[in-house]
Amino acid sequence: MEIGIDSFAAAPDSGLSESQALNELLDRIVIADKVGLDSFGIGEHHREDFLDSAPTMILAAAAARTKNIRLTSAVTVLSAADPVRVFQNFATLDLISKGRAEIVAGRGSFTDAFPLFGYQLSDYDALFKEKLDLLLRLRQQERVTWSGRFRPSLYDQPVYPRPLQQKLPIWLGVGGTPASFVRAGELGLPLMVAVIGGQTHRFAPLVQSYRQAGEKAGFAPEELKVGLHSLGYVAESTENAIADYYPGYRKVFNKIGRERGFAPVTREGFDAQNARPQGALLVGEPVEVAEKIMHHSEALGGISRVTFQMDVGIAHDKLMKSIALIGDTLKPLLSS
């Protein structure tokens, strides 16, 4: 099982400058590479809380400082992007990183990109479907003829550069929409499931529908990979992990909750979502978290990759220690 870290490049809320925050993020990607983690993903947001509006810039900077770790989006908000530019950016990243780039294409959990780039939320699904079609066509063909509703047509248009990898990996990032799981299966794309609360096993029927759709479309079972993007953090003890993680988690999710009309976060609710073995949150000491990941993998019929999302205001030095602990202690537990 591959283990990775995802970051939304949280904006600093203390005396740290944005420049310092981004450079500390690059240091975390470097340590993740050194301790043997498999992937590091950068999200895409267009709001004050995060510094990841241009994720390929961050990933390219990381490519120059790392050797082995795969560099991916988490996720690329494809609905509000030009697929040609997305492909060119990640093809360039692939060349810089010597074949370590990946795309996780999704629609994102925030809608800020739609008014920013002149799109209508009423076209939410149609935009994504059309742009995903073009992105996959660009991956497959050097010269493209294509037409759609939301972008000017292409007529035998060559698109460069081409990536180093013969087939640039494109995952489909999904939340809880059943049609998205089926779409990923029909296209034979690996699936990255974002589970940010509740109990992970509730996604089992959706993952099963993904695999069924993929097999019906003629894809081999080994092509239908499932990844799990989870909120998580690892420390030497579960008590320390919760003490580090919960205050920032409460602050972040209370802010989002006020925007969306959710109930305030409580410690009881947090503990229920972090409970063993079903809880979706991966906050604890290495053995406990490893056992929970294996339970999730069994419940979902096998996981190929799990990624930790830690951006809840934890200090840089603690994040560095957590990443090292995940690489040095947790990952071997999942490989044994």
Instruction: State what percent of residues in the chain have pLDDT above 90.
Output: 88
Q: What confidence category does residue 15 fall into, taking pLDDT thresholds of 50, 70 and 90?
A: confident
Identity of residue 214: G
In terms of phi and psi (left: phi > 0; alpha: psi -120 to 50; beta: otherwise), the region of 108 is left
**What does the block give as tokens for 157?**
């248009």
How far apart CA 176 and CA 181 sit, in angstroms, is: 8
3-state helix, strand, coil in the chain (%, to 5): 50, 20, 35
Mode of pairing for the β-strands spanning 76-77 and 170-174: unpaired
Tens of pLDDT, residue by residue over 300-331, are 999 999 999 998 989 999 999 999 999 999 99
How far apart, in whole angstroms, are the C-alpha atoms of residue 98 and residue 116?
33
Judge whether 200 and 181 are in contact, CB under 8 Å: no
Q: Is the peptide bond before 252 cis (omega within 30 degrees of 0)?
A: no
Question: Per-residue pLDDT averaged across 71-84, rounded?
Answer: 97
Type of residue at 194: A
- Structure tokens that stand for 18 in this block: 């944005």
Is-cis flag, bond preceding 277, omega within 30?
yes
> Which pLDDT band holds residue 276 (cuts at 50, 70, 90)?
confident
- Of all helices (H) and strands (E), which one includes residue 220? none
What is the pLDDT confidence band of residue 336, given thresholds at 50, 70 and 90? low
Q: How confident is the model at residue 13 (pLDDT cuts 50, 70, 90)?
A: confident
